[in-house]
Chain A
Amino acid sequence: MKVLVPGLSGRLGHMLAETLLERGHDVIGIDRRPFRDAPQGVEVHELDIRKRAAEDVFRRVRPDAVVHMATVTHLVQQSEDRYRINLGGTRAVFEHSKAYGVKHVVFVGRHTYYGAAPDAPLFHQEDEPPMGLSSFPELADLVAADLYAGSALWRYPEFTTTVLRFVYTLGTTGHGTLATFLRGSRVPTILGYDPLFQFMHEEDHVGALALTLEKRPRGVFNVAGPQPVPLSIVIKETGRTNVPLPEIVLNAALGRFGLPRLPPGALEHIKYPVTVDGAAFRAATAFRHHIDEGGAMRAYREAFPRPHA
C-alpha cells in the first residue's frame, strides 16, 4: 500500500515511517522540514502541503491512504500562520485525496479538542462538543480542523475518513505538549490544583496509527492508552520538581524567570483535566497499549534526565 504522510518529518512521523516500512508499505512524505537520514524506501518532498507542488505529488503518487499529521500545536506559537497551516492544510489534504482517488484518509487530532473546564466531565466521549473555546480561544484552529476533517465523513462518501483524537504522548522522543512542559528541572503548577493527565508512549501512538490503516474504521475516535495520572505524580516520576504557585503569582510570572509565555487559557489545562474514553477505538480496532503509564514516564525520564542548572 502507498501511504502519503503530510507532516512526516516530525518525530512521530519518523517512527511511523519505520513501522510502515517494516510492514511492507511504501511511504511518501510531504513536509516543510527536511527529513534527515531518510531510510531506503521513504520518499520525502520538502514542500508546503498548501502549495501547488503538493498536489503534483498526489497526482503522481496516487496514494492508497493518507495520514495527515501536519498540524501545528505549539501553544507558544501564536500566529496567523498556524491558523493557515492547520485549516488550509487540512482542507488541501481532503480535496487532493478526493481528486486523486485516495481510499482512506486519517486525520491525526488531539484530545485537547474537548477543552479543560471546572464543570467538564472526565473521560469525554466522541459526541461531546468542544467546550474549552471560551476560555482558550487559541485552540480554535485545532478544533476547527478536527471538525472540518469530521465533515469529510458526509462530504466525501467515496473514501473512508478516520478522525483520531490522541491523548498526549510521553516517552523517548520528548515530542509533544506535555513532554515540552516537563522539559525543565522545575515544573510550575497551580497551588491547590492537581489535574489528571492522560498520555501514551509514542510507540503505542504509532502502533494505533498503523492499526488504523489496517482496520480502516470509519468515524471519529478518541485514542487513549493507560489510565490518567495526577500531574504531581507525572512530575515526580519524570524526576522533576513540582513548584506549586498561587494562580495570581504564576500568571504574573509567565514569560519571566525562564517560564514560557502562555496564553491565559493554557492555565486551565494545568488546573482541570482533559481525559477521554478510548473504548470506541478499542472496539473498532482491537487496539491495546503495550506501555503503561509508569513505563511511559520512565522512558521520558531516561531519555530526558532532569537538567542540572
Chain B
Amino acid sequence: MGRVSPSRFDRCQATLADPMLPIHREVEERLDRLEVPFNDFGVDPYGISKKYIGVFMSALRPFYRTYFSCESYGLEHVPKRGRAMLIGNHSGGTALDGLMVIASCFFELDPPRIAQGMAEKFLNTLPFASQITSRLGHLTGLPEHAERLLSDERLLMVFPEGARGTAKLYKERYSLVNFGTGFMRLAMKMKTPIVPLAFLGGGEAIPTVMNAYRLGKLFGVPYIPITPWIVAFPLPAKLEVHFSEPMFFEGTGSEEDDLIQANVEKVKDRIAGLIELGRRRRKGEP
C-alpha cells in the first residue's frame, strides 16, 4: 500500500472538519450582523462556529423561504438583545419546528439572532450529531447550560413537551401534551422573559402514522417516525411560526409545585390559543 500523501489528508480534513459548501449571499450578510462574540477563528466560547452557521443557514434557507414558504408572525415580540426563552409546541414531524424557529430568528430578526436549542442527551453520544449540534450552538440539555446561556444574555429555545411532543402522530398534531416544569423554574430563577410561540404545519409536512421505537433502539435514537411513504421526508406543507407577547413570572424558581404548575398552565394556554387561531385561519375560518 502506498503512503497517503499529506495533501490528500489535507483535502480529506477540509471536507470533514471544515464544511466548504457554498454560503448564500443573504446568509453571509446576516452572519456579519450576528451579535455573537466570535474570536479570530470564527468560534464563540461555547463552540458556535460562524462557518457552520453559514453552511447550515444556507442549506435551511430554500426550505424556509421556498419549500415550506414558512411565515413568521409577531417577530416584534422577540427581544432584539438580552436573555429570553422561546417556548414552543411540537406539532409532530420531528425537529422541523425547531429548525424553522431557528431560521425565523436568523432570517427575520434585525439584528439576526441565534436561537439556541437544548439538544437531547443521546445526540452528543452520536458521531457527527455531537459535532454538528455543538458547532450550531445547541448544547446538551442540562440545567447548567441553560443557566449559563441565559446569564450570558442568549436566546434559548425550549420545547417543554420534550420527546413526547416530537412523537405526536398526524391526528394529534394540534394537541398539546404535558409540559415539563423545568423551563418555568429556570425562567423565574434567571429572571428571563418567556416568549410563547406556536408552530403550525409540522404534522402536515411529516404526517407520522407510527413511531418505530424498537427500530430506533438499533440506531441509538429514541424512535424513528414512519410516514405513509415510510421515510420521514417532509411534504411542502405551509409552515407558520407565531410569536406572542413576552410573559414575565416573578419568583425564585424554587417555589412549590402548585405555583409553578399554575404558571406553566398560563404559558400552555397562551400557546393553545395561538394554535387555535392559526388553525382556524388555515381552514379559512374568520
Interfacial residues, chain A to chain B (CB-CB below 8 A): 118-119, 121-123, 185-186, 190-196, 227-230, 232-233, 236-237, 241-244, 246-247, 271-273, 292-294
Given contacts A230-B135, A241-B6, A242-B13, contact A294 B127 (CB under 8 A): no
Cβ B140 vs Cβ A192 within 8 A: no
Cβ A227 vs Cβ B39 within 8 A: yes
| A279 CB, min distance to chain B CBs, angstroms | 11
Selected contact of B139 from candidates A122, A230, A236, CB within 8 Å: A122
For the complex, is B17 an interface residue (Cβ under 8 Å from A)? yes
Inter-chain contacts of A244 with B (CB < 8 A): 12-13, 16-17
Inter-chain contacts of B145 with A (CB < 8 A): 121-122
Q: Which residue on chain A has the smallest CB distance to residue B49?
A: A230
Selected contact of B142 from candidates A121, A237, A241, CB within 8 Å: A121
Inter-chain contacts of A273 with B (CB < 8 A): 47
Given contacts A118-B140, A191-B127, contact A229 B43 (CB under 8 A): yes
Assembly CA distance A229 to B43 (angstroms): 7
Given contacts A119-B140, A229-B43, A294-B40, contact A241 B9 (CB under 8 A): yes
Assembly CA distance A119 to B127 (angstroms): 14
Q: Which residue on chain A has the smallest CB distance to residue B123?
A: A118
Assembly CA distance A122 to B46 (angstroms): 8
Cβ A118 vs Cβ B49 within 8 A: no
For the complex, is B285 an interface residue (Cβ under 8 Å from A)? no
Inter-chain contacts of A122 with B (CB < 8 A): 46-47, 139, 144-145, 148
For the complex, is B178 an interface residue (Cβ under 8 Å from A)? no
Cβ A192 vs Cβ B121 within 8 A: no
Q: Can you sample 26 A-B contacts with CB below 8 Å?
A: A118-B130, A119-B121, A119-B140, A119-B142, A121-B144, A121-B148, A122-B139, A123-B144, A192-B126, A192-B128, A192-B131, A193-B127, A193-B130, A193-B131, A194-B131, A194-B135, A196-B47, A227-B44, A229-B41, A230-B47, A241-B9, A242-B13, A242-B17, A293-B39, A294-B39, A294-B40
Inter-chain contacts of A232 with B (CB < 8 A): 13, 17-18
Given contacts A233-B41, A271-B130, contact A123 B148 (CB under 8 A): yes
Inter-chain contacts of A230 with B (CB < 8 A): 43, 47, 49, 135
Inter-chain contacts of B129 with A (CB < 8 A): 192
Selected contact of A194 from candidates B17, B44, B46, CB within 8 Å: B17
| A162 CB, min distance to chain B CBs, angstroms | 25
Q: Which residue on chain A has the smallest CB distance to residue B149?
A: A122
Given contacts A118-B130, A194-B17, A196-B47, contact A294 B41 (CB under 8 A): yes
